[in-house]
A and B are shown apart, each in its own frame.
Chain A
Amino acid sequence: MNDPATLELLGRPPSGKAVVRMTPKGHPLVDLDTAEPTTSPSMTSRRGLLGALGAAGLASAAALAISRPVTAAVPVSPTDSDKALLEAAMRVELTARDLYEEGLRAGIVGEMAELVTVLAENHEAYADAIAGAAGFSADTRNDELFDELQVQFAISNVEEFARAGWELENTLAATHTELMDRYESADARTLTASIVVVEGRMGVVLADVAGFADNLGRVLDPPSQALDLSGSDV
């Protein structure tokens, strides 16, 4: 029978708990002294090492940047110039929404009213998206444009209303297309492109309602004049 291994306890205090004995580990197994003292004491410390690595990293990054060809990167977010144009575009979109709602108030009903509601909601969504991208509130329409066109939309005659809407959609699509030449940021361009193509589609639908869808030239390549958004009041 083997004897159990003895467990050495130094003693037991009155509390009954064992006393922890700190056993010295002796000399470290790995000698951390450098073989030859360095001329720069800072290099041996952790901070010194991190500093040296940081400096090397910065130097590498600088060298990499110099070696790359310089390209004009397109800014992602709208620039100040973009914001001025986007605000004008947003106000035009809100104007379109309000003009369509004029038709609903004037007595357009039934399936046409459902269509007009979709068109108004689309333009409101565009205004919201533009305002969101540029960082301002979508709360101000272009009163000058609204006053100019209100009489054409405040009617219950579906064909006449649709013709006014067709002209408006083509004008808006042309305006946004022209702005595409002037936007500097990717966000402004992305948003504009996604709006233009749907405004083109809405124009086709309204051309059909207005009764001249058979005139393919007017449907696919309609006469349109872009709005001048360079003025501060537009």
Chain B
Amino acid sequence: MAAEAAHTRNTERRTLGRRDALKVGGLSLSLAAVAAACGEDRGGDTAPGRVGNAPVITEPPSYAVDDAVLLRTASSLEHTAINAYRQMLALGALDDSVESLITEFVDNHQAVADELAGLTTDVGGEAWNCVNPWYMERTIAPLMAAVVSSDNQTIDMFNIAVALENLAASTHQAFSIRLDDAPARVATLSAAKLESRQSSALVINVRGVEGYVSPAINNEEVPRDAVGLPQQFALTHRFGSIGQVDIIAGPPDENGVRETFTIQIPAENSYIYNELDPVC
């Protein structure tokens, strides 16, 4: 009896042995894979998963970036700088010599903007004679709000002016490489040169000999002034930089910390595309 029972168990094991289980399992997986591979409509949503009741994402339009767009964007930065300088001049907190320089800068930026407008037309675009809305909203407006409430207005405006000249120079430097139109390339590089000179002239006017050469050229730390703001220099880098610029401005908070604003050269989110209508 016992031998018969053992025989029955052995027979069952032989029916569902490990090898049999592997065979059946392997066959099932293979068939499933074949069925999945042959199936249609396997795409599904490729977007990252979202959690919660988030609004539907609106895909931004994809506009071409050609010479006209680059020139319109460069023009917009010139007008943005002019707008910012006029706000500074209206505050009346600049030293006489700096005020004289800024007034000269406004004229020069207007001349560059006029030249860029002509080049925009030459390459088949529509000239842009307005500020850059993106920079005005996200950079100039908060910066000027900080300046108005600052306990350090004169230095804040000096730092902002240097940053604006550096931003304009970096933008023209970067665009001069990308432009296909040779006259536009030369014109933007000339504008980069002019605005680099304006930045250096402003720094030397305020800081004198101390402001000639930044220690950053030799990979040393940039010193800070009495209230902890980074010092400005005429020679900032060995090669022209198109990196971001940090500006510390405005009144200190309860911990003595002043707000830092980061500005970068224009990119896809701040270009003046051909599809945009003037805002002025």
Contacts and interface: CB of A to CB of B under 8 A. Distances in A.
A194 B186 contact: no
Contact of A202 (B177, B199, B235): B235
Majority SS of interface residues in chain B? helix
Given A30-B30, A198-B237, A216-B101, A5 B173 contact: no
B239 A177 contact: no
A202 B235 CA distance: 7
Given A125-B239, A195-B240, A197-B173, A177 B190 contact: yes
Contact of A220 (B197, B240, B241): B197
A56 B239 CA distance: 48
B197 A204 contact: yes
A161 B95 CA distance: 31
Given A197-B173, A205-B200, A173 B193 contact: yes
A49 to B, nearest CB: 15
Interface string A203-234: 11100100001001001110000000000000
Given A125-B238, A220-B194, A220-B201, A2 B9 contact: yes
B135 to A, nearest CB: 20
**Interface-central residue, A125, A177, A220, by most chain B CB under 10 Å:** A220
A18 interface: no
Interface stretch (A37-45, A86-94, A96-104, A185-193): A185-193
Interface in B239-269: 239-241
B22 to A, nearest CB: 12
A111 interface: yes
Contact of A118 (B6, B177, B193, B213): B213
B169 interface: yes
B108 interface: yes
Interface in B166-191: 169, 173-174, 176-177, 180, 182-183, 185-186, 189-190
Interface residues of A, number: 45
A3 B177 CA distance: 85
A184 B174 CA distance: 16
B189 A193 contact: yes
A58 interface: no
B185 A122 contact: no
A219 B197 contact: yes
B196 interface: yes
A29 interface: yes
Given A118-B217, A196-B192, A180 B176 contact: yes
B194 A200 contact: yes
A216 B209 contact: no
A197 B234 contact: no
Given A194-B173, A202-B235, 4 more contacts: A3-B6, A177-B186, A177-B193, A200-B192
Interface of A: 2-3, 5-6, 29-30, 72, 74, 111, 114-115, 118, 121-122, 125-126, 129, 173, 177-178, 180-181, 186, 189-190, 192-205, 208, 213, 216, 219-221
Interface of B: 2, 6, 9-10, 13, 23, 27, 30, 101, 104, 108, 169, 173-174, 176-177, 180, 182-183, 185-186, 189-190, 192-194, 196-201, 204-205, 209, 212-213, 217, 234-241
6 contacts: A125-B238, A193-B174, A193-B189, A196-B192, A201-B236, A205-B235
